[in-house]
Structure 1
Amino acid sequence: MKSTARKSVSQAGLTRFVCLVAVLAVVGLLPWLSHRDPALTVLRARSAEQEATDEALSAIRADLGLDAGPLSLLGSWASDLLHGDLGTSWVSGHDVLPSVVAGLQVSLGLMGAALGVAVLLGAALVAPVLVRGRGSAGAVAAMLAAVPEFLLAIVALLVFGVWLGLLPTSGWQGPEYMVLPALALGVPAGGLLGRLVADALPAVLDERWVELWRGAGVGRARIAGAALRRVLPPLVPQFGMAAVGLAGGAVAVELVFAVPGIGRTALGAARSQDLPLLQGSVLALLLLGLTAGAVASVVRRRLLGPALRDAGLTLPPPRPVRVHPAVPLTLASVLLLTIGWGLLRDPYAVNTTVRLAAPSWTHPLGTDALGRDVLARLGHGAASTVGTAAAICLLGLLIGLALGFLPGVAAGAADIANALPPVIVGILVAAAVGPGNGGAALAVALISWPALSAHAAALVQEVKASSFLMAQRAIGATPLWILTRHVLPSVAGPVARHALLRLPGIALALASLGFLGLGAQPPAPEWGLLLDESRAYVERAPWAALAPAVALALLAGLAVSGAAYAQGRKKRATTVPAEGRTSMKEAPVGV
């Protein structure tokens, strides 16, 4: 048993190293992988009027070392990186390192403020549970955690910056400029932290030791502190992932509020094909993610103490959040009605005489800057987004099932995948193959499988340890028979339901890439792209921005309520091991 555990750990470590090297290799080879000619980009940056002759382009390629081949290019980049040299910007001609450091300092300040907001919000959500021993904070926290940062940023800018005029909406010139970006970035993270702790606390407060402490006269404050210490160690890795989410969400928030951070720097470099600056920015964001994971691991070990470091610590299963079936049904009905109504209209018809028209019976959600019907674009955009998300879910299901039988390999690869938010992968993919719906789908698919593979691995382990499989082996059943008739049918169903519950979350990830210009391109009617296009005239026609914003909020609510209702039904259901079957627990589903 110990040898199997050591083998799994060594496999995870090796896979983690190989995946990290592969990611670094992709970053180093961006000039070679780019779908555009880097020489043409540099020529346009140096002199927009110079003619792009073969001689001029060849001279630039020789100067950049692009003619030497990918291996030589990668070796030269790695050697410079080891010496602290990130190269020279192709656009500005300045060293990349100072720009990366300056952007990183701004982003760290923003992330620090957002982390403060997250901690305060998480504490406010957890406090009622600590006081009463139970509460409904988990549902509220789950809803907040599901709201995308870019959506919250747009709403905050519209309400507090445009309508109320209380706070500045762009720039980075003082503490007041940090308030709205920190709120937009910190509220979803605070909802996630509050949700994790609030879901776990009631079950911990029902444990035997709490009853004994109360009987011995221990104060409520001391019991609450001990319960938090009991809850936190198993949740610390999730907190590390929340910090990684801050790094990814910072890209969209910095774009909305024109904050000169590392995320906005990376996005601008990708759009202008300034690949050396993009390489340095992506490395900084990757370093943030890996550092967050490493810090979370160290904090967890310190909280556990030497006695439990090897044994680990698990929490009792959280109580399911009770959601009435009318909630997801209502949200789904509103979305389906809106989408169906929009599909009956033409999303590409241009009528400049009614541009930025207010909602009316002719145009129920108004029109955009070109006079196109917002309802039509909302409906057709939903159809393409949900279809793409369904394909990604299917691909993630297949990958998750395959890696479920290789837990060591899956764990190592998942560590690297979890350190890369979809936005960062989307930037890399866009730099290599160009922005588009296919590139956005590839970016989300590359990192959407870890939760499914972890669920599949847990179920495979449970099935293999069940008594009925031992009986099957005893009567001479072949491994192939056991795999196809027992293991796969027992694992595929729960993991498929898990993948289906992740569909709205994947659609939101695609919308976020579209909002950043990394997904579908104009004139495609994609939700994130609609929200991005409406930013330019949000003061004159706020309904054009509110329509996709409300649709995304409904989608987030559907993701939360649907997952909570499904988990509640599974929790209440009683399954008894029967012939050829095993009782298996559903994994918690994140959004």
Structure 2
Amino acid sequence: MHRALRRPGPLDVLWRIGLTALLVCGIGLLPWLSRTDPALTVLKARAVDGEPTPEALQAVRDELGLGDGPLPPLGRWLGGLLHGDAGRSWVSGTEVLPSVVDALGVSLLLMAAALAVAVVTAAGVCARTLWLGPRRRLDGRGAGGSGAAVLAALPEFLVAATLATVVGVRLGWLPALGWYGPQWMVLPAVALGLPAGAVLGRLLDDLLPGAFAEPWTLTATAYGVSPGSIARQALRRCVPALVPNLGLFAVGLTGGAVAVEKLFDIPGLGRTTLDAALAQDLPVLQAGTLVLLAFAAAAGVLARLAARCLIGPALRDGELRSLSGSGKPRPRALPLVYGTLLLGVIGLGLLRDPYTVDPAARLQPPSAALPFGADALGRDVLARVGHGALGTLSWAVAISAAALAVGLVLGFLPRVAGPLVELANAVPPVVAGLLVTGVAGRGPLTPALAVAAVAWAPLATHTAALLQQERATTLMAATRALGAGEWYLLRRRLLPAVLRPVTRHAMLRLPGIALALAALGFLGLGAQPPSPEWGLLIAENHAYAERAPWGVLAPAAVLALLGALAVTAAGGVRWPGRRMTRPQAKVR
């Protein structure tokens, strides 16, 4: 059997079981890993005017079982899980598991609808490439433009707020708040599905030219096979490399839709875990995280089975050609334009004072003196956008670079890193932020720590999927038959094959990382006022979006500009020593 389809051995199974047990025990020890005092939080939640005397705090600790040390309560918690009992809420006193399961059901329905929107969006992004490819009219690169970059970089919470305000409130076409039937699902599904579909569409659009350049398409065209059939086969050829990321999107849309669920008042799993983390109701946070891990494990298994069904025989027999390295670098004019605009906005903002409060300028629209207008306190929005970029973009770039390095290394070690990737994929950045908040409390480093802990997982997943196909190519088999060693194959074949698409993927993820940092700030888990951090900036101006939309649109436009810059710059990434695949000649 080909090594790409080799089944996990006993050591792999033991490694997965050990990691899972370690993570479950870590979740069970959250009350003792937390640097805050849960008893104080619970006492305040139960009685706002209650005096936190030592006697009262000790009584709460005794009631919650926090005075016996970590091991006895951990044993009781694990024993309860075996019997379907996740404990009781520290705040409300109700059983945790029924409410968490109900919240999961709501999130799964929302996830299914959002995935449907994402698939339609991805199809729209790739439509031009699918039309031109079978007709031999591609110039060796995808036809998708930077419009997808703008969609991918739009903050989900901003799209949700805009849809709720315009479509739900002003036009009254669809309900904007609550969860009472299918109609209430439309707006949040669109808000979640548009950015996810744009990212998936860009990744697929990056692979399609390589599929259309393979010899079978030329033969099929010569025999008169319809362009639609060729496009469908090209899709089937490219989809397996994206199936793991599709599973990751499903997990992210289930547990990471916190801001959207909060804005639309949806009782989903993300909002449940957010409320539990902020209230230090750790049993609910434990159960929510555990349920999300189980769902992520199931999604990972289904993704692997789907990939095997789609291209299993070709992987086994080594009959694939490399999709990597095909195409021409993208033009470099657009990245220069977008980069100049972005640097110009940040530079102008840095020359202004972001903290000066001018009551006379409160909610003033954009003008020559205030190009981006003023916020509710009369502060210069341009200045706050510029100064907020220092923190948001610097952290986003640093996290993206680290995620690329870690993702490449772990992607080349699938037997060791596979379980780590699955566990990291199970925790979207927002959920990781909730866990970090539960342990370390709120702070300016909370978003960075949370996003960095999981940002490498999609890149490692993409690297492993590409390697699986690359090792099954005829070129690899021929090179190995000529006596090439593993080091030569790694340096001259495998690394050049995966480095370019994974680097482009990392650049596509850069706006997403900035959005994750902004989302955590928007939820109040990161920097606190008067910091000009972008997520906090959007959160502060969201309440005035109808009267002064510029306060929200300005940082959102800069995020979209960052996305356009990342996508267009990613198109020019290439491996210096890698010879590009020459496009096939046109068939008359």
Alignment partners' CA distance in 2, 1:229 and 1:6: 22
Query: Cα deviations across residues 22-79 of structure 1 (Å, max 9, x unaligned)?
Result: 3322321221122221111222222223322212211211121111222223222111
Residue-pair matches, total = 560
User: Could you tell me whether the CA contact under 8 Å between 2:149 and 2:198 is conserved in 1?
Assistant: yes
Query: Cα deviations across residues 192-235 of structure 1 (Å, max 9, x unaligned)?
Result: 33333333333323322233334334444444433333333333
Match of 1:104 in 2: 104
Using CA pairs under 8 Å that are at least 6 residues apart, name the structure with larger relative contact order, 1 or 2.
2
1:329 and 2:336 are equivalent in the alignment: yes
The alpha-carbon distance between structure 1 residues 354 and 321, as it changes in their structure 2 partners (threshold 3 A), is: farther
Alignment partners' CA distance in 1, 2:577 and 2:496: 16
Aligned partner letter, 2:78: A
Alignment partners' CA distance in 2, 1:221 and 1:7: 36
Alignment partners' CA distance in 1, 2:370 and 2:452: 36
Alignment partners' CA distance in 1, 2:507 and 2:213: 32
| 1:376-415 equivalences in 2 (<5 Å) | 376-393=383-400, 395-396=402-403, 399=406, 403=410, 408-415=415-422
Query: Cα deviations across residues 132-174 of structure 1 (Å, max 9, x unaligned)?
Result: 3246236544553343422322333344345544333322233
Q: Aligned Cα RMSD in Å?
A: 3.9
User: Could you tell me whether the CA contact under 8 Å between 2:129 and 2:144 is conserved in 1?
Assistant: yes
The alpha-carbon distance between structure 1 residues 202 and 340, as it changes in their structure 2 partners (threshold 3 A), is: closer
Give the alignment partner of residue 189 of structure 1, picking from 196, 206, 212: 196
Match of 2:583 in 1: none
1:342 and 2:361 are equivalent in the alignment: no
1:154 and 2:184 are equivalent in the alignment: no
1:528 shift after superposition: 0.8
Match of 2:118 in 1: 118
Match of 1:44 in 2: 44
Match of 2:89 in 1: 89
1:87 shift after superposition: 1.4
The alpha-carbon distance between structure 1 residues 178 and 497, as it changes in their structure 2 partners (threshold 3 A), is: closer
1:430 shift after superposition: 0.8
User: Could you tell me whether the CA contact under 8 Å between 1:11 and 1:412 is conserved in 2?
Assistant: no
1:425 and 2:432 are equivalent in the alignment: yes
Match of 1:76 in 2: 76
User: Could you tell me whether the CA contact under 8 Å between 2:113 and 2:189 is conserved in 1?
Assistant: yes
Give the alignment partner of residue 366 of structure 1, picking from 373, 376, 389: 373
User: Could you tell me whether the CA contact under 8 Å between 1:161 and 1:168 is conserved in 2?
Assistant: yes
The alpha-carbon distance between structure 1 residues 66 and 381, as it changes in their structure 2 partners (threshold 3 A), is: same
The alpha-carbon distance between structure 1 residues 158 and 338, as it changes in their structure 2 partners (threshold 3 A), is: farther
1:293 and 2:300 are equivalent in the alignment: yes
Aligned partner letter, 2:28: G
Aligned partner letter, 1:361: A
Alignment partners' CA distance in 2, 1:263 and 1:543: 28
Match of 2:183 in 1: 176
Alignment partners' CA distance in 1, 2:162 and 2:372: 17
1:263 and 2:284 are equivalent in the alignment: no
Alignment partners' CA distance in 1, 2:241 and 2:564: 27
Residue ranges of structure 2 left out of the alignment (5+ in a row): 472-476, 581-588
Secondary structure of the residue aligned to 1:173 is coil
User: Could you tell me whether the CA contact under 8 Å between 1:269 and 1:277 is conserved in 2?
Assistant: yes
Alignment partners' CA distance in 1, 2:38 and 2:254: 28
1:538 shift after superposition: 1.3
Secondary structure of the residue aligned to 1:137 is coil
User: Could you tell me whether the CA contact under 8 Å between 2:447 and 2:517 is conserved in 1?
Assistant: yes
The alpha-carbon distance between structure 1 residues 3 and 87, as it changes in their structure 2 partners (threshold 3 A), is: same
| 1:428-577 equivalences in 2 (<5 Å) | 428-450=435-457, 503-564=510-571, 566-567=572-573, 570=574
Give the alignment partner of residue 212 of structure 1, picking from 213, 219, 231: 219
Alignment partners' CA distance in 2, 1:109 and 1:46: 33
The alpha-carbon distance between structure 1 residues 400 and 176, as it changes in their structure 2 partners (threshold 3 A), is: closer
Give the alignment partner of residue 247 of structure 2, picking from 240, 254, 259: 240
Alignment partners' CA distance in 2, 1:500 and 1:70: 42
The alpha-carbon distance between structure 1 residues 333 and 165, as it changes in their structure 2 partners (threshold 3 A), is: farther
1:300 shift after superposition: 2.1
The alpha-carbon distance between structure 1 residues 320 and 68, as it changes in their structure 2 partners (threshold 3 A), is: farther
1:383 shift after superposition: 0.7
The alpha-carbon distance between structure 1 residues 321 and 381, as it changes in their structure 2 partners (threshold 3 A), is: farther
Aligned partner letter, 1:74: L
Aligned partner letter, 2:56: A
**How does the TM-score come out when normalised to structure 2?**
0.83
1:319 shift after superposition: 4.5
1:437 shift after superposition: 2.1
Residue ranges of structure 1 left out of the alignment (5+ in a row): 474-478, 577-582, 584-591
1:396 shift after superposition: 4.0
Alignment partners' CA distance in 2, 1:73 and 1:362: 61
The alpha-carbon distance between structure 1 residues 273 and 313, as it changes in their structure 2 partners (threshold 3 A), is: farther
1:426 shift after superposition: 0.8
The alpha-carbon distance between structure 1 residues 560 and 316, as it changes in their structure 2 partners (threshold 3 A), is: same
Alignment partners' CA distance in 2, 1:321 and 1:496: 15
User: Could you tell me whether the CA contact under 8 Å between 1:501 and 1:562 is conserved in 2?
Assistant: no
Match of 1:56 in 2: 56
User: Could you tell me whether the CA contact under 8 Å between 2:508 and 2:567 is conserved in 1?
Assistant: no
Alignment partners' CA distance in 2, 1:411 and 1:441: 24
1:562 shift after superposition: 1.6
Alignment partners' CA distance in 2, 1:315 and 1:147: 33
Secondary structure of the residue aligned to 1:68 is coil
Query: Kindly, what percent of the aligned residue pairs are identical?
Result: 52
Name which of structure 1's ranges 139-148 and 32-41 shifts more when overlaid on structure 2. Answer: 139-148
Query: Cα deviations across residues 434-471 of structure 1 (Å, max 9, x unaligned)?
Result: 12221111111112234666799999x99xx999xx99
User: Could you tell me whether the CA contact under 8 Å between 1:521 and 1:529 is conserved in 2?
Assistant: yes
The alpha-carbon distance between structure 1 residues 451 and 99, as it changes in their structure 2 partners (threshold 3 A), is: closer
The alpha-carbon distance between structure 1 residues 549 and 416, as it changes in their structure 2 partners (threshold 3 A), is: same
User: Could you tell me whether the CA contact under 8 Å between 1:172 and 1:260 is conserved in 2?
Assistant: yes
User: Could you tell me whether the CA contact under 8 Å between 1:145 and 1:189 is conserved in 2?
Assistant: yes
Secondary structure of the residue aligned to 1:437 is coil
1:83 shift after superposition: 1.2
Alignment partners' CA distance in 2, 1:95 and 1:129: 52
Query: Cα deviations across residues 378-411 of structure 1 (Å, max 9, x unaligned)?
Result: 1111111223234434544664576578553233
1:502 shift after superposition: 5.6
Match of 2:257 in 1: 250
Match of 1:23 in 2: 23
Give the alignment partner of residue 201 of structure 1, picking from 208, 214, 220: 208
Alignment partners' CA distance in 1, 2:505 and 2:183: 42
Aligned partner letter, 2:242: L
Aligned partner letter, 2:556: A
Match of 2:35 in 1: 35
The alpha-carbon distance between structure 1 residues 369 and 142, as it changes in their structure 2 partners (threshold 3 A), is: closer
Alignment partners' CA distance in 2, 1:394 and 1:126: 27
Match of 1:589 in 2: none
Alignment partners' CA distance in 2, 1:72 and 1:420: 27
